[in-house]
Amino acid sequence: MVYNEVLKREIPEGWEVKNIKDLCNVVTGKEDANFATSNGKYAFFTCGDDVLKCDSYAFEGKAVLVAGNGNFNVKYYEGCFNAYQRTYVLFPKNTDYIGMMHKSLIDSIKLFTQGANGSIVKFITKGDIENTKVIIPDNTNLLYPLNLCLSKIDTLKKENMHLAYLRDFLLPLLMNGQVSVQS
């Protein structure tokens, strides 16, 4: 371990510290909250915890999403999606670093929202996100388990959303007798 002046703590020897802006492109969504539809095909990210649906997408790929106001959550998503105007979308230049970016942003969001002097942060700026520090290991193979976990979590969340959709579709049909369950 060696002491890192930027982080003011020790990190493994050979590892480096970079800013988010060096690892990815940070853009914001363009849509307002009314863009969501009840039966949309694509994920729509707002500053809330829930992932909504919409009819068209503006982004595609592996991304980290940061809610710039509201409850300041950090999400990971793979696929086609759209985003609210106060949601920051981060596309890594190298997807090997996406897990470390996600983890660093979660830790930074906690610091942003606690406020240095007890003040409450009302919103997070693009500069706050771009200047978030990320520790990069000297061997990218060390990042594989973290990235695999993020991908698996994303897959399970999508499956849960699909199951909730099926439940909401089938339950009224079952309750009014239009369908039945064989024993």
Q: What is the DSSP string of 105-163?
A: HHHHHHHHHH-TTSPPP----HHHHHT-EEEE-S-GGGGHHHHHHHHHHHHHHHHHHHH
pLDDT number for residue 54: 96
**What is the pTM assigned to this prediction?**
0.83
Q: Cα–Cα distances in Å, from 114 out to 1, 16, 70, 103, 165?
A: 29, 26, 14, 17, 36
Residue 33's pLDDT is what?
Answer: 83
Query: Token pair of 21, please?
Result: 């802006």
Instruction: Report the candidate in 23, 25, 26, 24 with the shortest Cα–Cα distance to residue 136.
Output: 23
Give the per-residue pLDDT at 158.
92
Question: One digit per residue, pLDDT tens: the chain, 183 residues?
Answer: 999 988 889 999 999 999 999 999 999 999 998 999 988 999 999 988 899 999 999 999 999 999 988 888 999 999 999 999 999 999 999 999 999 999 999 988 877 776 544 456 678 889 989 999 999 998 888 888 998 999 999 999 999 989 998 999 999 999 999 988 887
The span from the CA of 46 to the CA of 43, in Å, is 10
Residue with tokens 């670093």: 97
Q: Are strands 42-45 and 74-83 parallel, antiparallel or unpaired?
A: parallel
Cα separation of 58 and 158, whole Å? Answer: 19
- Domains of the chain from N-terminus onward: 2-175 (3.90.220.20)
Both tokens assigned to 76: 């990971």
Break the chain down into helix, strand, coil percent, rounded to 5.
Answer: 35, 30, 35
Q: Which is nearest to 21 in space by CA: 147, 109, 105?
A: 105
**Rg of the Cα atoms in the chain:** 19
Q: What is the pLDDT of residue 104?
A: 93
